[in-house]
Amino acid sequence: MPTRSVIVLGGGIAGLASAVRLIQHGLKPIVLEKRPFLGGRAYSFIDRETGIEIDNGQHVFVGACKQFQKYIADIGVDDQVTLDDRVGFPVIKQDQISWLRGRTLPSALSNLSMLIGYRHIGITDKIRILWGLLSIKRTNLDIRYDQVTFYDWLKVHHQNEETIENFWNLIILPSLKTILIPSVLIRAFPVQSTFLGPTKRGDRLPLIGLFSLVGERLKILSKQQEDNQNWFQRNKSSMESGQVKALEPRW
């Protein structure tokens, strides 16, 4: 019986992970991506002056991203990621720098210490944020919240533009590649497991650029050496990139 083919539109992380899952279930995915690189919004580029690979998106992901960790393990690049229990991020506001950096403590306490030491937010707004985090912990984000936006939820739970701009957007922007606009649904982001989960805090740091981590392993490494075929070729699947100009009907 011939293997069924499934077309996957888009070579972002979701599309690539879907293709990998299809292969694992005995199907043959055909990934179509209009751009000449994989990874979608999570990509990197080579700086012309230095030759260094620079990431377009965040170069860190949290331990709550279980499915992403499974994806990079499936394609064989999990050895290119290291664990760091205390990663810090400088945040610039009006030419002033403050660090979001937690202490080496259990997850909830580490995140609490990160918020306390963050100078871009006053004490009153820090209390607002703590209230918002506790409210999320007490909320069961079930099907009733399918159409509830994160922005509206935060407003109902006493968040203001200051806390949204200087705290919540710092979480949403690198994770979903968009600011906290009304279209972002609260169920689209694992806030509970990221900040309030029971597991030990740990941020993952890739040792290579996003392009190499997410998509390069799936591309052709060498046309001359069969052993260096990409992951899709080895699994008898295919990937096509470039702008679609026309579709040829087959009757």
The pLDDT assigned to 221 comes to: 33
pLDDT at site 124: 95
Question: 3-state SS string over 73-138?
Answer: HHCCCHHHEEEECCCCEEEEECCEEEEECCCCCCHHHHHHHHHHCCCCCCHHHHHHHHHHHHHHHH
- Are the C-beta atoms of 182 and 151 separated by less than 8 Å? yes
What is residue 122's predicted lDDT score, i.e. its pLDDT? 93
- Give the pLDDT of residue 204: 78
Q: Is 23 within 8 Å of 238 (Cβ atoms)?
A: no
- Which H or E run includes 17? helix 13-24
Domain 1-58+208-251 has CATH 3.30.9: no
- At residue 187, the pLDDT reads 60
Give the pLDDT score at 18.
92
Mean pLDDT by 10 residues, the chain (251 residues): 80 89 89 82 84 77 79 86 73 86 67 82 93 82 76 89 88 63 60 56 75 66 41 62 64 57
Tell me, what's the pLDDT at 227?
47
Q: Domain residue spans in the chain?
A: 1-58+208-251, 86-201
What's the confidence (pLDDT) of residue 78? 86
